[in-house]
Amino acid sequence: MKIIYYSPHPTHDIVSEVGYATHQREVINALRSFGHEVLPVIMGGTEKGQLSSAGIPAPKNSFKAIVKKFIPRFIWTSLKDYQLLLHDKKAAQRLEAAIIKFQPNLIYERSEYLQDKGVAIIKKHKIKYFLEINAPFAEEMKGFEGYSVWHGLAEKKELNKNNQADKIFVVSSALKSFIEKRYLVPTSKIIVQPNCINLDNVSVNKENIEGLKINYQLEGKKVIGFVGSIFPHHGVDILIDAFAMSVKEFPNAVLLIVGDGSILDELKQNAIHNAIADKVIFAGKQDHQQVFNFIELMDICVMAKSNWYGSPIKIFEYGAMQKPVIAPNTIPVKDVMLDGEQGLVVEMNKEKVADAILKLLNNPLLSAKLANNFYSDITKQYTWHNAARHIIEACP
């Protein structure tokens, strides 16, 4: 089968180590592993340093950055959205050129905000159309960026894509329910496919690990860990407060936080306020491959917070390293974890997280059971190879 993998976003490339790039890259490689010919049409770029003209960020001291400070936020957001509308036309033109040259049997599109011009091109050429949806885009962008005059149009574009697609792949059952209700899409058309991991990319360096143990003085310590970006909605502040409660019972425990972000300084002050600064290690941002070495240091891994619709890749990274996981009580997490079987699924407040930490520290057999069960599920169900197989099986 000949497949075009279409990603219309102007800056989402396929080579970065961020989630969207990994997702795109892994799905394409997995489809190819089944012997299918896949042509990536990635508007954000397919090589390092390559971006579409619409995706080149303005320098921090540019005229745009100066103007942005003096105009209302909704005007700036609306102007950005208008640029996306103009980009959508260019993306559709590039898609049609690829269709004419490649003659695919299937178009697999990674859905993006305000981008739907490709649908008319696909239908014009009468090609089977699968749509992958990772978020409620119109709603999400309103929350992230604020009001835009184009939000109504964004909803219409989502409706168009959902109605025109032959099959829709979503990352959680919560997102499936949202799409069914918001856009009146039949249940039979939607396939839930959580995020996955490529186990071949999971590796550790024993020498590096020993060096990290010495550097952070971890010998004989119980390590509670978090890996990820540090922003207000990621809940690392809750984890620090919970650790401050649990460390009273386990004074040899330490908290290892790997990552960087806008509230890092606030979190350091939080550790000082809780009188645990000497027990909290802020390792900063690390190279993606080095992250697995840090996870290997951890006895318990925590996914501090997650939104209601997204499938958090982080828990699969934890699970692939055979670590017991504490995760938030959200539908996407419960799609892949049963509390007490594959992990501890808890409400994300400091009391519940502290209780979960203590439960695992006090029960090594439970920790081992959770780690082994989730790792087994990952190897059987949550690999990109399986995700690609589900796409292929959806084709008649």
Domain boundary among 155, 175, 193: 193
Looking at the fold, whether 205 and 184 belong to one and the same domain comes out as: no
Domain hosting 314: range is 199-381
Are the C-beta atoms of 142 and 151 separated by less than 8 Å? yes
Distance CA 71, CA 41 (A): 35
Looking at the fold, whether 230 and 275 belong to one and the same domain comes out as: yes
* Backbone φ and ψ of 43, nearest 5°: -70, -25
Looking at the fold, whether 210 and 164 belong to one and the same domain comes out as: no
Whether 392 is in a domain gets the answer no
Tokens of 19: 């989630």
- Say whether pLDDT at 314 is over 80: yes
Distance CA 10, CA 58 (A): 14
Of 337, 366, 368, 348, the residue nearest 240 (C-alpha):
348
Give the pLDDT score at 57: 41
Mean pLDDT, range 172-192, rounded to an integer: 97
Torsion sign, CA atoms 136, 137, 142, 145: positive
Distance CA 330, CA 310 (A): 9
Domain boundary among 193, 216, 236: 193
Are the C-beta atoms of 119 and 95 separated by less than 8 Å? no
- SS3 percent helix, strand, coil of the chain, rounded to 5, is 50, 15, 35
Looking at the fold, whether 130 and 226 belong to one and the same domain comes out as: no
Question: What single DSSP character describes residue 278?
Answer: G
Question: Tens digit of pLDDT for each residue in 10-24?
Answer: 999 999 888 899 999
Quote the longest CA-to-CA distance of the chain: 66
Share of residues in the chain with pLDDT > 90 (%): 85
Looking at the fold, whether 73 and 222 belong to one and the same domain comes out as: no
Prediction pTM value = 0.92
Give the pLDDT score at 280: 97
Looking at the fold, whether 16 and 97 belong to one and the same domain comes out as: yes
User: Which CATH number covers residue 180?
Assistant: 3.40.50.2000
Transcribe 285-331 into DSSP letters: ---HHHHHHHHHT-SEEE-----SS---HHHHHHHHTT--EEEE--H
Share of residues in the chain with pLDDT > 70 (%): 94
Grade residue 232 by pLDDT with cuts at 50, 70 and 90. Answer: confident
Grade residue 287 by pLDDT with cuts at 50, 70 and 90. Answer: confident
Looking at the fold, whether 185 and 209 belong to one and the same domain comes out as: no
Domain boundary among 155, 178, 193: 193
Looking at the fold, whether 39 and 71 belong to one and the same domain comes out as: yes
Grade residue 62 by pLDDT with cuts at 50, 70 and 90. Answer: low
Looking at the fold, whether 276 and 301 belong to one and the same domain comes out as: yes
Mean pLDDT, range 43-63, rounded to an integer: 57
Question: Tens digit of pLDDT for each residue in 238-283?
Answer: 999 999 999 999 999 999 999 998 889 999 999 999 999 999 999 9
Torsion sign, CA atoms 153, 158, 159, 164: positive
Question: What single DSSP character describes residue 302?
Answer: E
Whether 387 is in a domain gets the answer no
